[in-house]
């Protein structure tokens, strides 16, 4: 029932300042502004490729203010979309799952989804803006057993476990799976990463926060342009290879560069390399 990764919601102190930074590094543009009752926030919504990044400023007491007080600026909510919100509601009500509907968005509590705050929006077409193509992954870091989490998500969202792709990394210290929604047509998925130690950065994060939302990933159709933006702005980023000035594939932008958001970036099709379909990776 999930079509794709659609958006992320990011708690910030100053949305205007954050929007300027995201535009500088990712070529995003302000699409609109509104208010969220559920988040207790004024939102500045950025077009980032085909996806949207919501910059949320606290508007009094509520979830956004609580997040900022506890964690500071950073990634607050993972967002996906479906073609039929009402059918999703019926599914959850049949399972006895509590949710909140705020305008045309559905919110699930992180207590339901292993520390992963989730918002579901209705699927819609958007033209691409800037050198980013789309958001395709949000990472649910786990102390819990990833197999149990995968089974719960399959039931909550009508996903097919036969499409999932197991993952693991000694470099980053985790095992888990990618809950791919529609392979090989699209990369969209929730990454379930159960940490294997508390030495690596991901493990330290889980030791502090437990089951949680950690980061997200975008695909870019013009990686040299994004790489140039990062270098020109002296933004801290780690390339996939050894040379940040010439790396052909992508990398990770440090949270300090994007108001608390750890953002992975990969060139077109590269992510199939670790998504069970290496044959789909195009040459540079």
pLDDT tens for 113-142 read: 999 999 999 999 999 999 999 999 999 999
Residues 242-283 pLDDT 10s: 899 999 999 999 999 999 999 999 999 999 999 999 999 998
Residue 221 lies in a domain: yes
Q: Indicate the average pLDDT of the chain.
A: 97
**Quick one: 245 and 275 in the same domain?**
yes
Q: What mean pLDDT comes out for the span 44-68?
A: 97
pLDDT of 230 above 90 = yes
Q: The domain containing residue 95 runs over which residues?
A: 4-122
**Quick one: 93 and 137 in the same domain?**
no
The string of DSSP letters for 135-155 reads EEEEEEEESS-HHHHHHHHHH
pLDDT of 210 above 90 = yes
Instruction: Write down which residue in 122, 147, 176 finishes a domain.
Output: 122
Exposure string for 41-59, b = 16+ CB within 10 A, e = fewer:
bbbbbbbbbbbbbbbbbbb
Residue of higher predicted confidence among 263 and 1: 263
**Quick one: 154 and 87 in the same domain?**
no
**Quick one: 57 and 155 in the same domain?**
no
pLDDT of 284 above 90 = no
**Quick one: 196 and 90 in the same domain?**
no
Residue 127 lies in a domain: no
Check which CATH number belongs to the domain holding 156 and give it.
3.10.180.10
Apex 139 CA angle, 138 and 140, nearest 5? 125
Q: How far apart are CA 189 and CA 163, in angstroms?
A: 10
**Quick one: 139 and 266 in the same domain?**
yes
Q: What mean pLDDT comes out for the span 212-234?
A: 97
Q: How far apart are CA 174 and CA 212, in angstroms?
A: 14
State how many domains the chain has.
2
């Amino acid at each position: 029932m999930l079509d794709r990764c659609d958006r992320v919601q990011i708690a910030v102190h100053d949305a205007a300042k954050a929007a300027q930074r995201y535009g500088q590094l990712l070529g995003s543009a302000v699409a609109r502004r509104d208010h969220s009752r559920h988040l207790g926030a004024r939102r500045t919504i950025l077009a980032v490729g085909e996806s949207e990044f919501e910059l949320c400023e606290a508007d009094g007491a509520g979830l956004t203010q609580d997040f900022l007080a506890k964690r500071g600026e950073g990634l607050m909510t993972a967002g996906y979309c479906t073609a039929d919100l009402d059918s999703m509601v019926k599914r959850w009500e049949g399972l006895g799952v509590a949710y909140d509907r705020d305008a045309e968005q559905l919110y699930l509590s992180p207590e339901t989804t292993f520390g992963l705050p989730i918002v579901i929006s209705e699927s819609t077409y958007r033209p691409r803006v800037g050198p980013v193509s789309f958001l395709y992954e949000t990472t649910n870091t786990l102390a819990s057993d990833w197999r149990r989490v995968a089974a719960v998500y399959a039931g909550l969202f009508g996903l097919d476990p036969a499409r999932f792709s197991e993952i693991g990394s000694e470099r980053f210290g985790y095992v888990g799976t990618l809950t791919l929604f529609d392979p090989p047509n699209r990369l969209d998925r929730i990454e379930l990463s159960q940490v294997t130690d508390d030495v690596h950065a991901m493990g330290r994060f889980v030791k502090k926060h437990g089951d949680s939302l950690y980061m997200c990933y975008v695909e870019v159709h013009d990686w040299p342009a994004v790489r140039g933006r990062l270098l020109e702005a002296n933004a801290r980023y780690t390339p996939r290879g050894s040379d940040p000035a010439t790396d052909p594939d992508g990398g990770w932008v440090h949270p300090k560069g994007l108001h608390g958001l750890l953002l992975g970036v990969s060139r077109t099709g590269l992510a199939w390399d670790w998504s069970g379909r290496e044959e789909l990776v195009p040459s540079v």
